[in-house]
A and B are shown apart, each in its own frame.
Chain A
């Protein structure tokens, strides 16, 4: 063979040449239909220890946000548990009230006005009152009295509770407290010897799920309420009027009807509308919302700081390999896509860890009777948040890649 005789190969074939001892033929055939080589995924799997810190950073910033949301929603929901568990179709609310717990007195004639509507089959009153609790051991707690109609078919009494408890409230001086507040109220072992505003009362039973943010909720009958309040309750002005409607009637239509005759005296609201208004008020007006926003941004920054550093270190460690790909003509945007894909995977895996950890934390909170609540939109928002943390981190980590000059390899 002449030295140049074989120099032109029309197919630009790869030369086959025996080098050393490893010419034993094809040793590792790829599987048929082998897919694409994914530098992003294969690196994540192969060097998972390197990326673990980033996954945990995303997971914990997600956990921070989600647990906060759950606690806030749970806390705000305690404000409206009474509304949501009552059986009323409509609630008459004093027009300037912005949250259920900040009740104001309605005009005494509101109840008659509502009862006059043909679709209304039953009305009831509900009063809230702040009072001073004195336990058998002398402990003092500021409590909220929830005064209800405790007759058969009560609209105000929580549907989740057995009617035996409702009947227990019919006894003069009987009250119900939440299980979670028993120790605080000093009635863990004794139910006698309690005074509210100086009037002797008796704990007739305990309920679950009505723990208050501060103080304690105490259920009483209207008669007991008047007994405790004395002259202060004699004006016959309820805080809320509850209405049950005939079956098949649309509450929205009746609410509009009632509104047209009594707009200056009350607002007619469905339980959902009253609950949403109250929770929104707490979220936006109480300062807790702003605090939540602040710590969410903090979580974002911490997540981005750790995740971007991890990705950046990974990019720097492979800078020469990336530069070699650049030399071989792979465009910069393809390399950027590798880093962003890694970031997206870190975000996705991080969110899965968040979800598992959140489930554990929420479970523990429920066991401890801490009010927590989660909604689908909070979970979705946290998933987006996790992606945001990782994609911002990926963009930050791109910086060294942009400075990659393949010519640097030639020095």
Chain B
């Protein structure tokens, strides 16, 4: 197995509401490998989304550390964490969170612009990502003209266009029907296999389990199971993308 790209070490996190303090993460440790899709499952309130937020540089833990791509994430200043996410992280959320005013291709180009990629190069990269999610012929449409499944695939394209080494997905299929959910799950799996990206997914959707290489269970803020999934549905056959230069942020 490849060396872990994301190491979560004894992470704790509590939330305080009024006078009540609830411990959501009780010292979670987990090493996640690149090139596969790791799925964290657990009932709602188990702390799985909080774990994802801490691991991805979105939510500061109370204790413990996160080592991402050899950087001690939470020892960095806030701007450097933003920068780290800009350069290395992609996100897919349950709500598609697309801007109503932008066409599919513009949704993908927008965050690319902040990496320093602009103009025709950014459009070419965005179109590649839309081709990858099978939406090349809908690139000119606004979200209003897209189905739920198509919107989530645009969101995936937005997340993968910069070629992130870390891809985080929070309930990516929960708002989708069976067929579209399966499409998105296959996509995420393929990105891990094809690019060697570290894909970390949290969900309570059992349909995702079939596509994950590894399934970690969390309950009440502690890990209760960690299993390989030998029966994972193989990633679908790949069509080779044309070679293209690296992003230079």
Please report A residues at the B interface, Cβ cutoff 8 Å. Answer: 1, 3-4, 6-9, 11-20, 22-30, 32-37, 39, 42-43, 45-47, 318, 320-321, 323-331, 334, 405-407, 409-411
Contact = CB atoms under 8 A, between A and B. Distances in A.
26 contacts: A3-B193, A4-B193, A6-B193, A7-B196, A9-B194, A9-B195, A9-B196, A11-B245, A13-B195, A14-B241, A15-B191, A17-B236, A23-B134, A25-B136, A25-B137, A28-B138, A35-B119, A37-B106, A42-B101, A318-B100, A320-B95, A328-B111, A329-B83, A329-B89, A330-B111, A334-B114
B160 interface: yes
A411 B45 CA distance: 9
Interface string B148-180: 000001000011110101000010000000000
B89 A320 contact: no
Given A30-B120, A328-B86, A409-B170, A320 B137 contact: no
Nearest to A325: B111
B142 A46 contact: yes
Contacts of B89: 327-329
B133 interface: yes
Contacts of B52: 410
| The 8 nearest A-B residue pairs measured at CB | A329-B86, A27-B137, A19-B134, A46-B101, A329-B85, A12-B163, A7-B35, A28-B139
A17 B238 contact: yes
Contacts of A324: 91, 93, 97
Contacts, number: 216
B238 A6 contact: yes
A42 B106 contact: yes
Given A33-B120, A328-B85, A410-B53, A26 B101 contact: no
Interface of B: 34-35, 49-50, 52-53, 56, 58-59, 79, 82-87, 89-91, 93, 95, 97-102, 105-106, 109-111, 113-114, 118-120, 123, 125, 127-129, 131-140, 142, 153, 158-161, 163, 165, 170, 183, 186-187, 190-196, 234-241, 243-246
A37 B165 CA distance: 25
Nearest to A8: B196
B95 A409 contact: yes
A209 B207 CA distance: 84
Given A28-B137, A42-B106, A328-B159, A406 B58 contact: yes
Contact of A33 (B93, B106, B119): B119
B128 A14 contact: yes
SS class, residues of chain A in contact with chain B: loop
Given A324-B91, A410-B52, A410-B58, A15 B238 contact: yes
B119 A15 contact: no
Contact of B244 (A13, A23, A331): A13
| Candidate in A7, A14, A24 with the most chain B CB atoms within 10 angstroms | A14
A42 B102 contact: yes
Contact of B90 (A24, A43, A47, A328): A328
